[in-house]
Homo-oligomer: A and B are copies of this chain.
Amino acid sequence: MPKAVDPIQKRSEFVAASWDVIAADGLKAATLRRVAAEAGCTTGALTHYYTDRRSLLVDALRAAHYQAGARMMDAAKGTSSHGARLQAVLLEALPLDAARMREWRVWLAFWAESMTDAELAKENARRYAEWRQLLEDLIRPLMRTRAEAKRELAYVVALVDGLGLRLARHVSNDRMLGDEQRECAATLVRHLARFEAA
């Protein structure tokens, strides 16, 4: 019988290596050789688990969404009111620390690529629909009608995307980043203040 290796574990290592490379040097730097080296092996091992470069990237994108989704579920725990829960989830979405900043840089790279790659676009659209659904469920109890909830959903999704984009677009290691992170968080909190009363 063969060597005992957990393929799921192995794949997640390659995915994490992809994230590191993409966050550091962009999607174009995520070559098979580079990702394999980052994971501590050669392309032979990589191609053993991923037939294509694209399949690796699609998996990396999906895993990034899942990881973020899990974090948001955690953030929702431990909140009492509906308003507090929405705020906790949305704040968790912003790139306010190094880990989430890495995630946003990966997303931004994939969003650009999705414009010209149907497979990545489909994967991205699926995960985005889930994210919108999660938010809608959080918003619904705060609004009178379903239509109002839809409107507020479009509002906060754009707000979070715009704030996250602003932070992610920064050059890495910028000294002013901390200030901007606080300002973005404050902008989001201020918008959500209207729900505190409810």
By a beta-carbon cutoff of 8 Å, the part of chain A in contact with chain B is: 24-29, 105, 108-109, 111-116, 118, 121, 124-125, 151, 154-155, 157-163, 165-166, 168-169, 171-172, 183-184, 187, 190-191
Contact = CB atoms under 8 A, between A and B. Distances in A.
11 contacts: A108-B115, A111-B165, A111-B169, A115-B171, A115-B172, A121-B171, A151-B187, A154-B187, A158-B158, A161-B165, A162-B162
**By CB atoms of chain B within 10 A, which of A157, A158, A161, A190 has the most?**
A158
**Is chain A's interface secondary structure helix, strand, loop, or mixed overall?**
helix
Contact of A165 (B28, B162, B190): B162
**By CB atoms of chain B within 10 A, which of A29, A109, A115 has the most?**
A115
Closest 4 CB pairs of A and B: A158-B162, A162-B162, A112-B112, A161-B162
A15 to B, nearest CB: 19
A4 to B, nearest CB: 38
A52 to B, nearest CB: 17
A151 B160 CA distance: 15
A58 to B, nearest CB: 15
A64 B69 CA distance: 35
Given A26-B113, A27-B112, 5 more contacts: A115-B168, A115-B172, A158-B166, A158-B187, A162-B165
A42 B114 CA distance: 29
A193 to B, nearest CB: 12
A171 B118 contact: yes
